Amino acid sequence: MAITIEKFCTGLEEFSFESEDITADLYELTDLLESEESISAVYDPIFSFLEKHPEANVLSLEPLVYLLERSYPEYIHKLIESLRSKPTAITVNLLARVLNMSVSEDNKSDYIEILQFIADDDGIDKLASQEAAEYFKHQNTEVS
């Protein structure tokens, strides 16, 4: 099991966006963890990867999203840490997906506050800020 996680982490570190099919290559990596009961050991490497590649196409990274969502809600604390340290469009998108799940009102309120902070902060990645503003607006429209 540890060998599989190590192989995944190494593959993620060495991942090249020069590939003709990024999504297929990421599915190949995430498939390594198919039989793992717990993937908590890969949360940090995944969020580090997402933070290092803020320009990556959100859709091409869906294998990583699906992998994380497989362990909902265990990865949420790492998602929040990532959003507080270096938000990207994909991590903002992940938070929006969480908001579409059943979450407590307290957590929902906290998550919407995070979106607002990211949307309002000029020092944050522009695409992440734009995504956060859109999701924040959507959440406030739902509440009204």
pTM: 0.93
Give 21's DSSP letter. -
Mean pLDDT of 82-110: 95
Cβ-contact 66, 34 below 8 angstroms: no
- Euclidean distance between CA atoms 103 and 47, whole angstroms: 21
Q: Is the pLDDT of residue 74 over 60?
A: yes
Section 71-81 average pLDDT: 97
Opening angle at CA 3, ends 37 and 58, nearest 5: 65
2-143: which CATH topology?
A: 1.25.40
Nearest of 18, 21, 26, 58 to residue 45 by alpha carbon: 26
CA dihedral sign of residues 59, 62, 64, 69: positive
